[in-house]
A and B are shown apart, each in its own frame.
Chain A
Amino acid sequence: MIAQLRSELFKQRTTRTARVLLASMVGVTVLVVCLHVFTLKAADLSQAANQPKVFGWATTIGALFAALAGAIGITAEFRHGTIRPTLLANPGRTRVVVAKAAAAAIAGLVIGLLAAGLVAAIGSSGLALRGIPITLDAGDFAQMIAGGAAGAALWAILGTGLGTILRGQVGAVIGLCVWLLLIENILIGNVPSAGKYAPGASDGALAGLMPNAGTATLLAPILGAVLLVAYAAVTGGTGLVAFERRDID
């Protein structure tokens, strides 16, 4: 198990994928946070209810890139066929997927920390530059960063599970983007009573904020954490069962 985890962490470091993903995340974070902090009206941004439109991106971006890291980690093996030598070296399929999910969770934690840290730094600087008071206190920022990092780690496991189920890289990547950037917003915006239980909104609850929640009330952080753990466990578990059962082409 430890040997397989070391192998998976080594794989992460030895292709350009991780670096490209990290660089894209930094670029997207800078762009999205700047766009919101500099284009929204000062009068609106001064209100506490609207500041998640800037700071809430910590959760969405962290979750998205962590989930992509998880999904790409396993789908790349199917795409390039390396899943065959991987399984010849270690035929314990459960061990391989669990090691992959653990490696992805570590990467997700780093991605989540970085995303939340960047959003906090850029968002605060931007608001200060425009002379808009920041309504989040130190406790809110701490929850945003810690919750964002933990949420991203769980999303990385969810991404690994989804990638194991789907196997196709394009499908997994599109599915995650559509879900986190479109569906979650529609759910929380139009049916908040149900939408708050969705995995993205659970992540928002854990970190204390999400970008497009509007007037919707998020779940308590602990409930968000429990739900997100359940989503990650169900997706990861389904992936495990599918991977154990299926033949490798």
Chain B
Amino acid sequence: MIRTDVQTQPALAVRDLTKRFGTVVAVDALSFALQAGSITGFLGPNGAGKTTTLRLLLGLARPTSGEALVFGRPYRELPNPTRRVGALLESGDFDPGRTGRNHLRALALACGIDFGRVDELLELVELDRAADRPAGGYSLGMRQRLGLAAALLGEPELLVLDEPANGLDAAGMHWLRGFLRQFAATGGTVLVSSHLLAEVAQSVDHALIIDRGRLAATVAMDELSDGSSLEELYLELTGKDES
């Protein structure tokens, strides 16, 4: 008998996810799921709970209730998770005294990936010439590309990117958009948080709009006429006037 649930299992699923910090509810009974092969934008104003949701998905924080699953399991229970999930967090996490190449090598050693892959990625994100300089001297765009290289280390099927467009110039944006398109075209799944609506409208298949920890809307981009209507919808859904 052929099991079909392997194909239909979402790459990423969040069910009734709630996270409280004291009396503050950062994520409030959030539910959504992503199917493989698509790019989904994760939109919302600052403080809406985007980064907290991503931290819960990646096992860095524990939900107060509900669950956050990648490939049907909590991230912390995935064997060799970098082989399946690549993540770029907004904070740009590296030691300023360590070179870009050694930053990637330390991570490669931890997950049993050879150094040849590190060199390959440095070339892909066009950091090969800066790779042996301390990462503390990198520009914002270079830091983002270093973070992206780290996310791609294990050739993952799912990419979780928190504000990846921050600090990228026009050429970098163009490159990132093309890269994500190709990644999704080959069956990869992408969840990308952003506050740059125009950018998101151009790059994603679906948009999840969250506000105050709750899912305000799920939008299929091909049902919208253009980017401006996403903006209207976003502003309408996340408007603060009723508070």
Q: A3-B112, A17-B97 are in contact. Are A88 and B105 (CB under 8 A)?
A: no
Determine whether B178 belongs to the interface, using a CB cutoff of 8 Å to chain A.
Answer: no
Stretch with Cβ within 8 A of A (4 or more), from B55-63, B168-176, B205-213, B235-243: B55-63
A82 CB to closest chain B CB (Å) equals 5
Determine whether B183 belongs to the interface, using a CB cutoff of 8 Å to chain A.
Answer: no
Determine whether B25 belongs to the interface, using a CB cutoff of 8 Å to chain A.
Answer: no
Q: Is the CB of A10 within 8 A of B59?
A: no
Determine whether A16 belongs to the interface, using a CB cutoff of 8 Å to chain B.
Answer: yes
Q: How far is the CA of A86 from the CA of B87 in the complex (A)?
A: 12
Residues from chain B with Cβ under 8 Å of A17 in the complex: 97
Stretch with Cβ within 8 A of A (4 or more), from B9-17, B31-39, B75-83: B75-83
Interface residues of B in 97-144 (CB under 8 A from A): 97-99, 102-103, 105-107, 109-112
Determine whether A89 belongs to the interface, using a CB cutoff of 8 Å to chain B.
Answer: yes
Number of interface residues of A (CB under 8 A): 26
Stretch with Cβ within 8 A of A (4 or more), from B41-49, B88-96, B195-203, B214-222: B88-96
Determine which of A11, A80, A248 lies in contact with B106 in the assembled complex, contact meaning CB atoms within 8 Å.
A11
Chain B residue at minimum C-beta to C-beta distance from A92 = B76
Q: Is the CB of B106 within 8 A of A15?
A: no
Determine whether A34 belongs to the interface, using a CB cutoff of 8 Å to chain B.
Answer: no
Interface residues of A in 61-115 (CB under 8 A from B): 76, 80-92
Count how many pairs of residues, one from A and one from B, have CB atoms less than 8 Å apart in the complex. Answer: 81
Determine which of B91, B102, B110 lies in contact with A89 in the assembled complex, contact meaning CB atoms within 8 Å.
B110
Q: A3-B109, A6-B109, A7-B107 are in contact. Are A80 and B81 (CB under 8 A)?
A: no
Q: Is the CB of A85 within 8 A of B78?
A: no
Q: A7-B106, A88-B82 are in contact. Are A247 and B60 (CB under 8 A)?
A: yes
Residues from chain B with Cβ under 8 Å of A4 in the complex: 110
Q: How far is the CA of A88 from the CA of B96 in the complex (A)?
A: 19
Which of B55, B105, B106, B107: most chain A Cβ within 10 A?
Answer: B106
Residues from chain B with Cβ under 8 Å of A6 in the complex: 109-110
Q: How far is the CA of A4 from the CA of B108 in the complex (A)?
A: 10
Determine whether A14 belongs to the interface, using a CB cutoff of 8 Å to chain B.
Answer: yes
**22 pairs across A/B with beta carbons < 8 Å?**
A3-B110, A11-B98, A14-B102, A15-B95, A15-B98, A17-B97, A76-B95, A80-B96, A81-B92, A82-B93, A83-B93, A85-B93, A86-B107, A87-B59, A88-B85, A90-B110, A90-B111, A91-B59, A91-B76, A247-B60, A247-B62, A248-B60
User: Which 10 pairs of residues, A with B, have the shortest CB-CB distance?
Assistant: A81-B93, A247-B61, A7-B110, A7-B109, A14-B102, A248-B60, A15-B97, A91-B76, A89-B110, A80-B95
Sample of 11 further A-B pairs with CB below 8 A, known A91-B75, A247-B62: A7-B109, A10-B102, A15-B98, A16-B97, A80-B94, A80-B95, A80-B96, A84-B60, A85-B107, A88-B87, A89-B110
